[in-house]
Amino acid sequence: MEDTALFNVGQLLTRAAQTWPQHPAVAVPQKKGWQQVTYRELEKDSNSLAVGLAWSGITPNQRVAMLVPPGIDFIALVFALFKARANIILIDPGIGKKNLIKCLSDAEPECVIGIAKAQIARWIYRKQFPKVKRNFVVGRRQWPGCKSIEQLRSRYADAEFDYTPHADDDAAAIIFTSGSTGAPKGVAYSHRNFIHQAIEVRDYFGIEPGGADVSGFPLFALFNTGMGKTTVFPKMDFTRPADVSPPLFLEAAKHWKADQAFGSPALWNTVSRWCEKNKQTLPSIQRALSAGAPVPAHVLKRVKKIIAKEGEVYTPYGATEALPVACNSASVVLAETGAATQTGKGVCVGGHFPGIQWKVIEISDEPISSIGDVLEVPAGEIGELIVKGAVVTQQYVTRKDANALAKIKDGDRVWHRMGDLGYLDAKDRFWFCGRKTQRIRSAAGLLFTVPCESIVNTHPAIYRSALIGLPDGADQRPLIVAEPWPEHWPDGEQRKQRLLSELQELVASHELTKAIQEVRLLKKLPVDIRHNSKIFRERLTEMMSARD
């Protein structure tokens, strides 16, 4: 099946099952050993479920909320729903109960597929979901009013499935943003978006069938399934990647001789520090990927040391609305761009993927209706990044008011405003300087978060820091809040003041940061729920304002 013939994401699994039927598709840890399914078994299972769900009333474009933990059932059901042409609602449970209920309510599901615990919650909050007419429970535990996924599997085990041709722009999923810079928004994904994401990732990284990927982020597993790799889910709480157990992560990689692993910067920081301390390595890993936030050079350096000698660490850049956009590698960062980052030049996210077009335009907080209305800035000048391509989503389907501020029309397609500030260099690489909404309007002029924080982070006692702005009349008063490494937290007021003095001297010595008059310490900065890596500066601003 050629890439040009693909119109449904489910075809990626079908093609993999036809080509590598006996290769393990998904593996999950059990109390003793591993549970696994081959590509042939996963294809058969998803076909049975697709037919069963359709016979049970799931129709094309119907919104179906998926509340199933990562594992074999999750992958099988997602591909079954793709094949049935449902519109899958995917929400990270780590956003908390209040946000989860709000996002689900905003998405207006007509069906809920979930474990018994999720169905109980759905019943308790049933007034929030007036359009829900069908419910399916996953697992052995049943719940009144729900059809059993296990019964569907049994009843339709031998059912034949055939794809019905449809437009590749048909709705495939609604995926919510993390909400790290505002309330989560529901992003409309088409089959076209997913298919091109898989193709771009496969071709850029040269991913070939075979081998295994230890997936620290469940949605990346969907790419694996379309590329003939084994998805290995390590034993961890996927809503708290920073708290991953390194021994269990290593056990998964070594048992499956994994050649690839994906995790947030926080996950890799935890794993690599443990490996360094305990003199452990991941010698089979040829390709380590990390995304979700800028990856510090110290993390890249440690990860590169623990994977295969000839291996590489990649840092793909993008957003829920547009992924992948660009990529850099540890080799380039450590040999070239990382030094510039430490002097306040921003973080180089690399060049764009082949299927992406990009521009850096003048910073604006106003809607831009047409691409003809944008004004590009020269290379080297900080502006706002906009992108266009087959992986770029076209609209939000919840919080629709955000479309006017995030999308720029260009014929029958749109450019997405990433909300990120930075500049293009002479090699057409983008240097990220922070979020647009988080720039500081101080009396001394504009301050951008990442360049200023990078200077503070050069202090050996500091793990990370955040630039925020507190109200100060018509302007904002810039403030740096620094998080020391746990082992460097000052154990007394005298040492605390000494560290603060050193940081203040560091800030005052640099042209970019000299306008910042105050530095504070915090044991743990608030971070996003999805990757545990992006600093939640809005929440931090509230915390620091309360202390004033």
Which tens digit of pLDDT belongs to each residue from 206-234?
999 999 999 998 888 888 999 999 999 99
Task: At 403, list the tokens.
Answer: 């479309």
Answer yes or no: is 307 within a domain. Answer: no
pLDDT at 197: 96
C-alpha count within 13 angstroms, C-beta hemisphere, residue 27: 22
pLDDT at 92: 81
Residues 419 and 515 in one domain: no
**464: Cα separation from own chain's centroid:** 20
Domain match, 479 and 377 both:
no
Q: Can you tell me whether residue 284 is helix, strand or coil?
A: coil
DSSP state of 2: -
- Specify the pairing of strand 24-29 against strand 407-410: unpaired
250 assigned to some structural domain: no
- Residue 315 in domain: no
Together in a domain, 171 and 22: yes
- Listed in order, strand segments (DSSP E) in 155-278 are 171-176, 186-190, 212-215, 230-232, 260-263
Last residue of a domain, one of 386, 420, 437: 437
pTM of the model: 0.95
CATH number at residue 541: 3.30.300.30
- Same domain (yes/no): 385, 518: no
pLDDT at 363 over 80: yes
Q: Measuring CA to CA, how many Å separate 116 from each of 149, 278, 307, 312, 543? A: 11, 40, 40, 41, 37
Distance between CA 63 and CA 111 in Å, rounded? Answer: 7
- The C-alpha atoms of residue 188 and residue 344 are separated, in whole angstroms, by 36
The strand pair at 111-115 and 186-190 is best described as unpaired
Summarised one tens digit per residue, pLDDT across range 38-85 is: 999 999 999 999 999 999 999 999 999 999 999 999 999 999 999 999
% residues pLDDT > 90 (the chain): 89
Cα dihedral 487, 490, 495, 497, rounded to 10, equals 130
Pair 56, 105 in one domain: yes
User: What is the rounded CA–CA span in Å between residue 371 and residue 374?
Assistant: 6
Confidence (pLDDT) at 29: 96
Binned at pLDDT 50, 70 and 90, residue 94 comes out as confident
Residue 152 has which token pair?
A: 């569907």
Q: Are residues 527 and 380 in the same domain?
A: no
Q: Give 33's contacts (C-beta < 8 A, 6+ positions apart).
A: none
Is a pLDDT exceeding 60 seen at residue 1? Answer: no
Average pLDDT, whole number, for the chain?
Answer: 95
Beta carbons within 8 Å of 69's beta carbon, 6+ residues apart: 115, 238
Pick the last residue of a domain from 395, 411, 437.
437
Closest CA to 288 of 273, 304, 302, 299: 304
As a 3-state breakdown, the chain gives helix, strand, coil percent values, each rounded to 5, of 35, 30, 35
pLDDT given at position 345: 98
Tokens representing 529?
């729920």
pLDDT single digits (tens) 485-519: 999 999 999 999 999 999 999 999 999 999 999 99
Mean pLDDT of 256-279: 97
Q: With beta carbons less than 8 A apart as the criterion, state whether 486 and 242 touch.
A: no
Mark whether 412 and 448 lie in a shared domain.
no
Does residue 54 fall inside a structural domain? yes
Q: Are residues 378 and 494 in the same domain?
A: no
The last residue of a domain, from among 409, 437, 465: 437
Let me know whether 75 and 173 are in one domain.
yes
Q: How many domains does the chain have?
A: 3
337 belongs to a structural domain: no
Distances (CA, A) of 197 to 92, 189, 190, 202: 20, 11, 11, 8
Is the pLDDT at 2 greater than 70? The verdict is no
Place of tokens 């200023």: 452
Whether residue 323 lies inside any domain: the answer is no
Shared-domain flag, residues 403 and 455: no
Domain presence at residue 48? yes
The pLDDT assigned to 292 comes to 87
CA dist., res. 9 & res. 193, Å (int)? 9
The answer to the question of residue 95 being in a domain is yes
- Two structure tokens written together for 357: 């077009």
* Domain of residue 98, CATH code: 3.40.50.12780
Q: What's the whole-number mean pLDDT along residues 451-462?
A: 98
202 falls in which pLDDT band (50, 70, 90)? very high
Same domain for 473 and 381:
no
d(CA 271, CA 466): 23
User: For residue 393, what are the domain limits?
Assistant: 353-437
The pLDDT, as a whole number, for residue 181 is 66
- Angle 220-227/72-83 helices, nearest 10 degrees? 70
Query: Which residues neighbour 542 within 8 Å (Cβ) at sequence distance 6 or greater?
Result: none
401 and 465 part of one domain: no
